[in-house]
Structure 1
Amino acid sequence: MAADTEPLRTQADLLRRGLADLRAEDAELASILDAEVTRQHRTLSLVSSSCAAGPRSLAASASALVNVTVEGAPGRRHYSGCENVDRVEALAIRRARELFSAQYACVQSHSASNAIYQVLTALAEPGDTILGMALEQGGHLAHGRVEAFAEANYKAVRYGTTSQGEIDYTEVRQLAMAHRPRIIICGATAHSRVVDFQRFRAIADEAGAIVLADISHIAGLVATGRHPSPIDAAHVTITCTHKQLAGPRGGLILSGRDADTKVPGLRSSFRRVLEQAVSPGMQGAPAVNVIAAKAAALGYAMSPPFDAYMGRIRATADEMACAFMARDYEVVGGGTENHTILLRLRGGISGSIAESALEKCGIIVSKKRGPRENRSSFAANGLCIGTGSIAQRYVDAQGCRQIVDLVCRILDQVQPHGEQKYTLEPVLQEQFRQQTEALCTMYPIREYGDR
């Protein structure tokens, strides 16, 4: 039998055949995919939401499960032929509940933003008030920004942070009592402090609100006990599976002690209304191959190597924060309590300029407004730096100092011309890029870190 007509009976057969066919029959696409792998290995990512998905998750997402038509929950599908799909989703649910000590878990959401919208649809009526963290203070677009679904369907009120980057809990309470929101969202995309979920719950109970916690950026720290868990403090918790869990791009919806209590103003429990909001409410067929990849990532997240990985994330964040301060850069709050460093730039360099100049030298960062800064993110003079990716490279204390030194030397050579234009000598740029690649060679990506 010819090689290209042999039956593909295992996942390994499918992966081998797929890779061979891609290279033989679509060299253009294959070369782009290879180029991206090369780019990731030759650049240093300091993006707070960044880490590399492990090979097990990548393999699971390329599985034959994608061929199965699925709607509904395990054991209650609208189509037949779902025996193994049900087993995979049940496994992912069990692992999600165990990892986060949750009573309820939904693993079907296509992203964390989708999960937020599904929760809002389940628990609030159009026009209800939601209270969330302002985007410019470190919040997320999905929490109530004008351009997002939440603002289009609900009245969004926003709280901020203090000058030291702490959530302004006094303001949260004042706004909650003044506006009586249906839902209070706690969680951030650029916040370097511990979130007091219990305090949010106390404010919500006083104001008669529901608490929705978004732990997308700190899920791994929560899972390993390095950050307080919101599972029983919040009525509902959402997260994604790719930022700290080293899995595929997708979302989870979780609930703890409130899972089987009635939703205020409704006859059904949180568990019931959340299930209905996801399917058939806002989402049709789930991506079951991605659910398999989530199961792989959740399995890894319960292992000792993952716990060690989260330890490196915290250690490298502390090392880098200290190194930046030693170079006379202002770190908001004087340090970090998670994986994120909020850095104020100097010398008239905007975050936009720093982001662009560093990328040309092989270092990826995110521009960010500092606390109480009113300028746009393009004009603001802040960066949000995270350590998820460099922790996968096993960067040690000396390596952290080398990376910070390189970042600072690059920025010292940047000559800004306004808020977005600048010059950086091409010769220096190439030298810096070579130094970045040397660091990447010294500290190669090791993905899951258990090899």
Structure 2
Amino acid sequence: MADLSSLTSSAYSQALEVIASVEPRIAEATRKELADQRGSLKLIASENYASPAVLLTMGTWFSDKYAEGTVGHRFYAGCQNVDTVESLAAEHARELFGAEYAYVQPHSGIDANLVAFWSILAHRVEGPWLEKVGSKNVNELTDADWESLRKELGNQRLLGMSLDAGGHLTHGFRPNISGKMFHQQQYGTDPTTGLLDYDALAAKAREFKPLILVAGYSAYPRRVNFAKMREIADEVGATLLVDMAHFAGLVAGKVFTGDEDPVPHAHVVTTTTHKSLRGPRGGMVLATEEYAPSVDRGCPMVLGGPLSHVMAAKAVAFAEARQPAFQTYAQEVADNAKSLAEGFLSRGGSLVTGGTDNHLVLLDVSGFGLTGRQAESALLDAGVVTNRNSVPADPNGAWYTSGIRLGTPALTTRGFGHDEFDLVADLIVQVLQNTEPGTTKAGTPSKASYRLADGIADRVKDASAEMLDKHPLYPGLELS
């Protein structure tokens, strides 16, 4: 039998030939994407590299099947194999995270959060309201009943982490649907340290009395004490919802345990299945048995038909994450983030919170005289892929920003370690020190245009290539 790398090469080469027979430009773009990812330093904290097994699982005829409903209770016939797939994915998820219940249908992290929000509303608001009006079936409500219920559902309170403090758009940011669904307020971080202030958060919760307290983050470089978050939620009668999309891999890999593991403390936990978890792009909801019946109604409450081929890939990814090697990987992700942070600090860089103890680093680039957008663009010219990100009380707002967010999951998958991440920090500082802000056509300072000194991009690319060549992406995968 051929070795796995040979089988993988054959599978992808033949797949691209089939694609090219219909639309060769898509096949070419696919080849180019692999080449680009192989040749760049990918430091976007929300990206990773899924295994060939996960990627190949998505390209099957499960894509052709409609399967609205739940296991054993579908609105379409012929879903017995989808039932197997969904059951296996949920089983692996429960075992991996120690959860009472897992719902693997959400198509993305935002979908998972929408399922969670509406499940909590159904459990905490709709259920008691129906009992109050005589336990009517929702299909039997009068127009006046519906008007009353809509007012109840649309007048609930949500308290989440602010965007510039490291929260996510779906945690109550007003332009997002979450900020329109709820009467929302946001909590921030200590203005001096950048760290969560649990006492201040508790005081805000007591004053606001939210139905839902959202914990979790997309750009907060520290761990969270979820036991304290649950205490705050319980004190004010809130449901604790934790969005662990960014750090799910560190939970699965047992880097975050005890009070730092959200699953034993939260009523509902949402996550993506890619990022640090290294699976396919998708979402998931974990919940206690109390909330399981409401979450199980995600389709058709919020979702359309589940993507059965992606659920299959989730099952494969969760099976991989249950192996001992994944715990080693997760610890390396956290260790490498510390190495990256130390590399910046030793070269005079300014980090939000002064460091990291998770998988990401938030670098304030204002000390280099740049906006986040200028820094992001200059780094991309040098083959370093990052994303601009707000810092607390950011004077440049959410579009131009004053920071760049960097994560270690992807390059750790490639095998990068302490020495490489220290060099990565050095290369990034070289780029930023040799970038100047541009001006507008009117001659005023620009927040977008920039000038990178001659020769810097090539020098950084050459240094990066040496590291990348030592740690090839998908080693052994050769496309004919």
TM-score by length of 2: 0.85
- The answer to whether 1:424 aligns with 2:452 is yes
Which residue matches 1:190? 219
Corresponding letter in the other structure for 2:198: Y
- 1:150 deviates by 1.0
Which residue matches 2:84? 87
Distance (Å, rounded) in 1 between the aligned partners of 2:168 and 2:97? 22
Give 2:106's match in structure 1, choosing from 103, 106, 109.
Answer: 109
Which residue matches 1:249? 281
Q: Secondary structure at the match of 1:280?
A: helix
Which shows bigger deviation, 79-88 or 291-300? 79-88
- The answer to whether 1:206 aligns with 2:235 is yes
> What whole-Å deviation, never above 9, does each CA across 1:83-108 have from its counterpart, x for those lacking one?
21111110000000000000100000
Corresponding letter in the other structure for 2:37: Q
Q: Secondary structure at the match of 1:25?
A: coil
Checking the alignment, whether the CA contact within 8 Å between 2:216 and 2:242 is kept in structure 1 is yes
Q: Secondary structure at the match of 1:420?
A: strand
- The answer to whether 1:301 aligns with 2:330 is no
> What whole-Å deviation, never above 9, does each CA across 1:395-443 have from its counterpart, x for those lacking one?
1222112111111111111112332221113433233333333332232
Which shows bigger deviation, 175-184 or 225-234? 225-234
Checking the alignment, whether the CA contact within 8 Å between 2:371 and 2:396 is kept in structure 1 is no
- The answer to whether 1:150 aligns with 2:178 is yes
Checking the alignment, whether the CA contact within 8 Å between 1:187 and 1:213 is kept in structure 2 is yes
Which shows bigger deviation, 113-122 or 184-193? 113-122
Q: Where does 1:370-385 land on structure 2 (aligned, <5 Å)?
A: 370-385=391-406
Q: Where does 1:213-224 land on structure 2 (aligned, <5 Å)?
A: 213-224=242-253
Distance (Å, rounded) in 2 between the aligned partners of 1:29 and 1:60? 20
> What whole-Å deviation, never above 9, does each CA across 1:369-391 have from its counterpart, x for those lacking one?
22333431344432211101110
> What whole-Å deviation, never above 9, does each CA across 1:215-274 have from its counterpart, x for those lacking one?
00000111122112111211100100011111111111002xxx233xxxxxxxx11111
Corresponding letter in the other structure for 1:54: S
- 1:126 deviates by 1.5
Distance (Å, rounded) in 1 between the aligned partners of 2:306 and 2:362? 36
Q: Secondary structure at the match of 1:40?
A: helix
Distance (Å, rounded) in 1 between the aligned partners of 2:12 and 2:429? 43
- 1:392 deviates by 1.0
What is the aligned-residue RMSD (CA, Å)? 1.9
- 1:18 deviates by 4.0
Distance (Å, rounded) in 2 between the aligned partners of 1:434 and 1:13? 31
> What whole-Å deviation, never above 9, does each CA across 1:32-89 have from its counterpart, x for those lacking one?
1110111000010111111111111111111111122211111111222112111111
- The answer to whether 1:171 aligns with 2:200 is yes
- 1:365 deviates by 1.1
Q: Where does 1:133-144 land on structure 2 (aligned, <5 Å)?
A: 133-144=161-172
Distance (Å, rounded) in 1 between the aligned partners of 2:369 and 2:463? 25
- 1:359 deviates by 0.4
Q: Where does 1:18-29 land on structure 2 (aligned, <5 Å)?
A: 18-29=15-26
Aligned residues: 425
Distance (Å, rounded) in 2 between the aligned partners of 1:306 and 1:338? 16
Q: Where does 1:355-374 land on structure 2 (aligned, <5 Å)?
A: 355-374=376-395
Distance (Å, rounded) in 1 between the aligned partners of 2:418 and 2:305? 46
- 1:350 deviates by 1.4
Distance (Å, rounded) in 2 between the aligned partners of 1:379 and 1:14? 42
Which residue matches 1:397? 418
Checking the alignment, whether the CA contact within 8 Å between 1:414 and 1:422 is kept in structure 2 is yes
TM-score by length of 1: 0.90
> What whole-Å deviation, never above 9, does each CA across 1:126-152 have from its counterpart, x for those lacking one?
221100000111100011111111111
Q: Secondary structure at the match of 1:213?
A: strand
Checking the alignment, whether the CA contact within 8 Å between 1:352 and 1:377 is kept in structure 2 is no
Q: Kindly tell me: are residues 369 and 17 of structure 1, through their superposed partners in 2, closer, same or farther at Cα, counting changes over 3 Å?
A: closer
Corresponding letter in the other structure for 1:377: A
**Which ranges of structure 2 fall in alignment gaps of 5 or more residues?**
1-7, 122-152, 439-444, 476-480
Checking the alignment, whether the CA contact within 8 Å between 1:132 and 1:157 is kept in structure 2 is yes
Give 1:352's match in structure 2, choosing from 365, 369, 373.
Answer: 373
